[in-house]
Chains A and B, each alone.
Chain A
Amino acid sequence: MSTTTEEAPAQRGRPSNPGERVAEWADGRLGLYKFAKSNLRKVFPDHWSFMLGEICLYSFTILILTGVYLTLFFHPSMNEVVYHGSYTPLQGVRMSEAYSSTLHISFDVRGGLLVRQIHHWSALIFIAAMIVHMMRVFFTGSFRKPREINWLFGWTLLFLGMFTGFTGYSLPDDLLSGTGVRFMEGAILSVPIVGTYLSMFLFGGEFPGHDFVGRFYSIHILLLPGMMAGLLVLHLILVFFHKHTQFPGAGKTEKNVVGAPFFPIYTAKAGGFFFIVFGVIAAIAAVATVNPIWEMGPYRPDQVSTGAQPDWYMGFSEGLIRVMPGWEIRAWGHTLVLGVFIPLMIFPLVMMSIAAYPFIEAWVTGDKSEHHLADRPRNRPVRTGIGVAWLTVYFILLIGGGNDIFATHFHLSINAITWFVRVSFFVAPVITYWITKRICLGLQRRDRDKVLHGRETGIIKRLPHGEFIEVHEPLSQQQLHVLTAHAQPKPLTLAPEVDENGVARKAGPIAKVQARLSQNWYGEHSQIPKPTAEEYEEITSGHGHH
């Protein structure tokens, strides 16, 4: 093979088409044709939910484009200046250069306000899309082997995305963002032993100092986006390598991938979708003001406005810090600030548990096989329940983070809301887990009925002897397949306490936990047996309707 490919170019004539000539040139240097052979007609399955990841990719691209523009005008400096720009209410006010240059972008640079708002809206949408995309992957089990590492890449992108967002909205040094930075400083101070050192090193001395805008700037525009761009490329390479998951359906198996080719369908649809996302965000930025820093004024540590809220994706950490009781342990000349430190630790712990989830599930179920067909969430009630329980905690904490807003808008007592969140934090996820599991099992029963008895048509028929019946329509072969395509694994069981030779072997505590969890996952309380071929034959070969 290799000898023939080495000889081939010499024999080939010069292509007449200029595009082809460029391709030839690139092929001789990059091996373009070999790469294109397996990728140009690569198959991408189609489903609306597969678009969510694209929104992440496109909003990230928009963030880079608009971010580079903003760096042309923004001054990442905390040097004090007296404002003399065109926004009259702040004339003559002392402020940092960061704040005054943000005012300059908003009021003096033509189109500057638009780009700032596109940037901020894109950030809000980027993180929302990442969370929804992650939920899709979670609920359909698309994180299972071989995609666990891509789950970790995606998770890291979300984690870094939140910090990029935080460092970004802290840059203008306005009263609201400065309050957020102060909150961060207070949280850092709560870290036992090293808290004050971390704070001094981060701020170059006492809060707020003259350094944090410059430091956040290089973190926000270089360090974090650089890491994210790298992870994003790895994420996409793995999507290409694994080939996309697909939902069960006619002609779709674990061994194939069915859909439209990358070129031209996916190129046109996905490429077009970039412009749609960009266009929609531009229109939002035209009509909806986001982060009007001029209304808040420059940051001063002794001033604050009411209703201070972080950007939405930081809301759950705000909720944690607001509803936590103010525990402080004072002993031997030291203070352990549990009231702040515990919420600070719950945040990474919750994130870590999400990162570890694919590995936990694989361990519990003992599943070592590859999966390319997406699960229907109802067929995995425990996983779906866990996902909903997690979302419940998330939304409960968002309520906690906005307890003052809820109190003033709905005329409720802030104490009552706080206590509601404290209790719900523990109780609500259990309730929603249970409800979700029941709903999933109910839907499984409905699928079973549909397979065995057909679809209810709503047509009532009267029989000659006067009996009324509803006409059931048998499902098509495709529908029958979709409703029965999922595997129903058996739970792991512990080996018998005494083996066949009468020698006692004890199961370790870890194995016992694994078996218990597996029973919970795949036991008879967690799945409705799907109809068997025999049951189906028996009913369909029988007489009359049911």
Chain B
Amino acid sequence: MSNWIMAPILIPALAAMMLLLEVRERHWLRRVTGLTATLALVPVSILLFRQAATGDIQVYSLGDWPAPFGIVLVLDQLSALMVLLTSVLAVPALLYASHGDDRLGPNFHSLFQMQLMGINGAFLTGDLFNLFVFFEVLLIASYGLALHGRGPARVRAGLHYVVLNLIGSAVFLLALSLIYGATGTLNMADFAARAAELEGPALTLVKVAGLLLCVVFGLKAALFPLYFWLPATYASATAGVAALFAVMTKVGIYALLRVHGLAFSDGALAGLGDMALWTVSLLTLGLATVGVFGARRLGELVAYLVVMSVGTLVAALAWGTEEAISGALFYLLHSTLICAGLFLLADLVSRGRGDAGDTLMAGPRPPAAGLLGALFFIGAVAVAGLPPLSGFLGKVMLLRAVPAPAYWALLLAGGLLAVVGLSRAGSTLFWRAGEPMAGTVLNKGRLAAAVLLLAMAPAMVLLGGPLSAITQSVAAQWAQPDLYIHAVLGYPGGAQ
């Protein structure tokens, strides 16, 4: 058992504490500390991923209490992949924010590290109540980050976001206590093993709890009808924060995948909520397409693209075959990174347009319009799923794995309408623009951060073979919950 599994939680936690020490007027020190801690997460998560890729599932018992009694952290390939994605995303997001946005209010860097700690913790924990605690850690940090900087729009969106998530937390608690009351455990592996053999009233209670969990994770993931908070919150947050938030919806999807794969795959709870998730995700996909088409601001448009990716992913999850999950994971990596890059790009464009901001109306030409336009083109092609970039590969994998007419129709029509919406946005912003405003220059550091994220689109195509091999092996391990249960409990499910 290696101790490295703690590092993705401990590094941001320590950095956040250090950043709380008062260093007035020394922003460079905070930036260096924050960036160092975030950069340090990359090699650590690569190391963890290489350890997980061997196929072993590592279990770390906190306080050395054995599995069903104490809290465990579990590192399997799915967790390792998500931690790696988070660290790869966090570096450009923080780099972008470190060029000025972090000075809009106090404690930005500390909150950012807390957010990373919560996200990594949620990916690594093997205990349902601990998942609740890490959700709260990442949520309270995200409240601070979403409200970072001033402005009425941010406060209004923030209020809705906080109230909704507090209701979500109450529902999460109800679900957890139902599970504890009926099965006597909150350890995910133990719960899965016991849930398979439930019957009678206890089974009904656990089914209710399982569906409540789907509601909570659906709220985090922004599924219909619980996605209305997302476009306002993400579009009004500062760009670096919005980029990091691109992975927050994926925390909800990860939690769905984890609980679904462990407890709802076979046994007494097999297929629980599949039909509901399928319907709801297709509705999400369809409505988000309308949102992309009707958005009046670039930030809002990108936020609806995030919702679209959520619908696409959860539908594949509800379909539930190993191949569908593999395609979904590839698409998840792609959509997180590209949507984050587009959030940064939207902010770069809006900074060069003065009062016009990122509204989709003719205004001044942004500085270096050719370069930004080319980047927007790459991002749009990738996110809409046109060949030859990463979105195309992801969509092909998904379409091959999920041969359902409704899914094909919505995904293809969604892609088409996204192309129309994005080209309308691009031509308005870059072609129908007037003279550039005097005195606006493009910040090289910000540009570098956006380029770094958007460069993932061609990179994911070049590395398409190895990447899809990785997602296939992750999905294969996900499809065998017995491996996970055995690794955590030390015996293959059921009674000892």
Instruction: Tell me whether A and B are bound partners.
Output: no
Binding site for B on A (CB under 8 A): none
